[in-house]
Each structure stands twice: as C-alpha cells, then as structure tokens.
Amino acid sequence: MFTDSIVLLTGVGAEGQVGEVVALAFADLGASLVLVDRTPDRVQQRAAALARLGHSARGYGCDLSDAAAVSELVVTIRKNHGEKLRALVHMAGGFAMSGPLAESAIEVWNRQIAVNLTTAFLTSRAFLPLLRADGGSIVFFSSQAALPGGSVAEMSAYAAAKTGVATLMRAIAAEEQKNGVRANAIAPAAIRTAANLASMGTSVPYVEREEVAAVVTFLCSRQASGISGTLLPLA
C-alpha cells in the first residue's frame, strides 16, 4: 500500500506509546519511514528497532515548536530522503490538566499551545511542498475534548489547543484540495499507552493502539482519496 513511499511520523520516540504501533503498521505496509521526536536518542532507538525487523526507518531529533529547528529539519530530510512525502502523521503533543480557568497558570497554557498546536502548524507548513509533490495526506491527532459536548473542565489549555488542531486541519484541507493534498484528524478517547496506563490504571475504557494505527494508515492511503477535512472520533 505504501511501497516506494516516504512517510513522516512525528512523536514516535517513546516505547509503549501510540507512535510505536503506528510506525510499525506503516512499515509493514511497505513505507520507508522518517521518524521525528524531540529526543534524538529515543527516536534513533525506535528507528533501529524497526530496522532490525527489516524495515526502512531513520530517526531525527527536533523541537517541532521551534520554527528555525523545523526549517533545518526540512533541509536535512530533503537531502537524505528526496523531494516527496506520501504522508505526514503528526502525533507530537502532550497532555496536562490546567485546573479551573480562574486559577490556571499562563505557563501551562503556553506549553499546551506550543506542544500541540504550534508544532502542528510549523510541521505541516514546512512539509506541504513535499506532500504536494506526491499527492500526499496529513493526519493530525486532535482529541475528544475538541468534539461538541466533549469534557473540557479543568483542561481548557489542552482542549483549546486540540480544537485549534482540528481547525488547522480543516483550513489545510480547503486550501490544499487544488494541490492534491488531503488533511484529516482523529479525535480519540484515551489510548491504551504506557503513559496512560501508569496515570489512569487499567479500569478505564481505552482505544487500542492497533485501532488507531488502522485508521491512520487508511486515511493516508489512496483508498481514502475522497476523504478530506474530516474530524473522526475514536472511542
């Protein structure tokens, strides 16, 4: 499905997280992977683990909230992987409770906007030329907090950032239709990751990582060529 195609995945470094399974799913479908994470050692270990399984993967460290760093990353990836991307899956981000708005800290607000929304903006903006060259697709990770009626109390910063991600996706879908680029986002409930299990325990109803990977790979495939501008709930 993705043979001879380059797929860029962000937020893939940590073991036990959703990026681990999404990366393996793309690799099993024949993609050559470009993996990006804030921590260079971690993402290079993830790429090495995939390479040991016989897959093509290379890892790069980058702070995706830093515009200059993202610009440097694009230059490096163009040099090492060429001028085309079949897909960009933006999983980089993070969650933090901000507490009641009246008592919340500006530092938490700024951090949530930076890691969730600014990273999505900078990354998609930077790699759109490569996606246009291959009629590529973007998948963002939003949240159920961005859906009508979603729980947002005491997490206003996170909810606002993830709602912004959904709006960014819709803007890209509308603007890039003429260039053959599609954009969609998923809005999952809590995913069964190592971090979520550690913080919330085993009694919570989770979305399985494999389910997320199946949806993401489908949205990036040619089979989903008519789907763009969609925010897809996963529960």
Which residues are identified as catalytic?
Answer: 158
Token output for 7: 């797929």
C-alpha–C-alpha distance, residues 95 and 72, integer Å: 27
DSSP letter string, 7-24: EEEES--STTSHHHHHHH
In Å, how far are 56, 129, 225 from 177, measured between CA atoms?
30, 13, 11
Query: What element of type H or E holds 194?
Result: helix 194-200
Backbone angles phi, psi at 24, to 5 degrees: -65, -40
C-alpha–C-alpha distance, residues 56 and 156, integer Å: 39
Token output for 204: 């919570």
C-alpha–C-alpha distance, residues 22 and 33, integer Å: 11
